[in-house]
Amino acid sequence: MRNDVCGSRMSVSLTLFPPAKLNLFLHIIGRRADGYHLLQTVFELIDWCDQLTLSVREDGQITRSAGAAGVIEADDLVVRAARLMQSETNSRFGADLALIKLIPQGAGLGGGSADAAACLLGLNQLWDLRLPLAELMQLGLQLGADVPVFLAQQPAWAEGIGEQLTTLAFTDRQYLVVFPGEFVATAPMFKQSELQRDCVPLRLNDYQAGAAVSNVFAPLVYAQAPQVAAAAAWLQPRFGHVRMSGSGSALFVQIDDIAGVQSLMRGAPSGWQWRCVHSIANWFDNRSV
């Protein structure tokens, strides 16, 4: 955190690095009466991060000085998170929000949810609100089903609509993550009539014992998004088991040898964004101050 004094006025700001997530599998086991899908998944947080700077305003205004390309302020999850926090706590403070997007949008990596979580955690500190995690998670759920896992900051087994979290032991893993450059919108994928919605429910113990799992969105995305299908076909013979995160379109494989992966990826098609990443936890609590 930085404190800058200018005359008699103090400006307080905080720069955070909200991380992406991977869904190590994704099943749908039914639907609620309100239409929301019931999921089972495992979340892994990774060190592919956005950058969000929060600066306290004493006039109570919520402003955005930088944001995701193509996202209007009213739809910006960071802006919505700040306004929700302000309205729920009656804080007299405002904030300026400056987001640098590095996590690809429309990739199933959860960047928007991570940014919203970062905003809630950051303002909780900057505004000295001292809300407990349970209250922050209830606020986060109003913004999106993936927001709570970024607030919890741990790998997790998730059920319900993705908000019922069971913390998993952290394991240091490495992944190659590839965004083939093709945007896949989440809402239309959930509306697909061909989407499998009747997966047999698993127990956490089943998953940990090696039960067969998949991502129910992958067959649909491969059929409808040719760049994603081509990327999966390119990666499979080189790296083995290729998985897709969320409803697409990012693909990933678990790896052991980063140097070897980087050598193989020199021949990757142009237009891809890719990174070798590590699993992480406590991304907010362990930040440099």
Contacts with 137 (C-beta within 8 Å, 6 or more apart), sequence order: 147, 148, 151, 152, 163
Per CATH, the architecture of 174-280 is what? 2-Layer Sandwich (3.30)
pTM for this entry? 0.93
Q: Write out the residue limits of the CATH 3.30.230.10 domain(s) in the chain.
A: 2-167
Rounded distance between C-alpha atoms, residue 160 and residue 201, angstroms: 11
pLDDT digits (tens), the chain, 289 positions: 334 333 333 459 999 999 999 999 999 999 999 989 999 999 999 999 999 999 999 999 999 998 888 888 888 999 999 999 999 999 999 999 999 999 999 899 999 999 999 999 999 999 999 999 999 999 999 999 999 999 999 999 999 999 999 999 999 999 999 999 999 999 999 999 999 999 999 999 999 999 999 999 999 999 999 999 999 999 999 999 999 999 999 999 999 988 899 999 988 999 999 999 999 999 999 986 5
pLDDT for 97 = 97
What pLDDT does 74 receive?
84
pLDDT of residue 72: 85
What's the pLDDT score for residue 4? Answer: 38
Structure tokens at 143: 């913004």
Domain with CATH 3.30.70.890 in the chain: 174-280
pLDDT of residue 71: 85
Q: According to the model, what pLDDT value does residue 66 have?
A: 87
The set of catalytic residues is: 21, 146
18: phi then psi, degrees, rounded to nearest 5? -65, 130
In angstroms, how far apart are the furthest CA atoms of the chain? 64
CATH 3.40.1080.20 fits 2-167, yes or no: no
